[in-house]
């Protein structure tokens, strides 16, 4: 098992992966009705509310493969997938997940494995796909995120807002 990164390590690694990005798609993945699988969608909603320039937020739910056409049409430099993931870490932990480690980190099942969706996006949109996993509080079953989950969501959104507000303001 990999040790989850500290907040600073996560931000540094994400900054490297988003370096030079001008157009970004954020794909929120998960099922809002399942407490253990809702964090990707909730994070995407918070990012959508920021109304960042040249950032397209898509709430893909449990079928991210159905959103590949809008991704291609937007012509992004990168695609950021947000999803709940059992990282074996404290609730609210946010981590970049390498494609080879996706199967061990997934919580929910989708029509197609995320590795297939990511590969298809990379091939057809000609943009690297980056997967961010958010550790849910697995025993929690309430209608709202737990304080630990909300802290992770807040950290993730703040990091993305900071990194994306520092981008060059040039369009394609």
**Domain architecture of the chain: domains with CATH:** 7-164 (3.40.50.1450)
Q: What is the pTM of this model?
A: 0.89
pLDDT at 42: 97
E strand spans, 10-104: 24-29, 55-61, 78-84, 94-97
Share of residues in the chain with pLDDT > 70 (%): 86
Cβ atoms within 10 A of the Cβ of 59, count?
17
Q: Is the pLDDT of residue 106 over 70?
A: no
Q: Of 72-86, 95-109, 117-131, 153-167, which range is least confident?
A: 95-109
CA 163 to chain centre: 14
pLDDT at 169: 55
């Amino acid at each position: 098992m990999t040790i989850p990164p500290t907040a600073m390590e996560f931000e540094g690694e994400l900054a490297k992966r988003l370096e030079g990005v001008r157009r970004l798609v954020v794909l929120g993945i998960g099922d809002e009705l399942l407490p253990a699988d809702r964090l990707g969608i909730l994070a995407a909603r918070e990012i959508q509310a920021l109304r960042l320039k040249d950032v397209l937020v898509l709430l893909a739910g449990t079928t991210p493969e159905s959103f590949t056409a809008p991704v291609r049409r937007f012509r992004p430099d990168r695609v950021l997938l947000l999803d709940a993931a059992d990282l074996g870490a404290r609730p609210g932990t946010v981590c970049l997940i390498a494609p080879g480690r996706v199967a061990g980190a997934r919580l929910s099942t989708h029509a197609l494995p995320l590795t297939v969706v990511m590969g298809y996006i990379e091939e057809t949109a000609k943009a690297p796909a980056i997967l961010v996993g958010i550790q849910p509080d697995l025993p929690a079953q309430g209608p709202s995120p737990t304080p630990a989950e909300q802290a992770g969501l807040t950290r993730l959104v703040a990091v993305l807002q900071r990194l994306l507000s520092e981008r060059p303001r040039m369009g394609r």
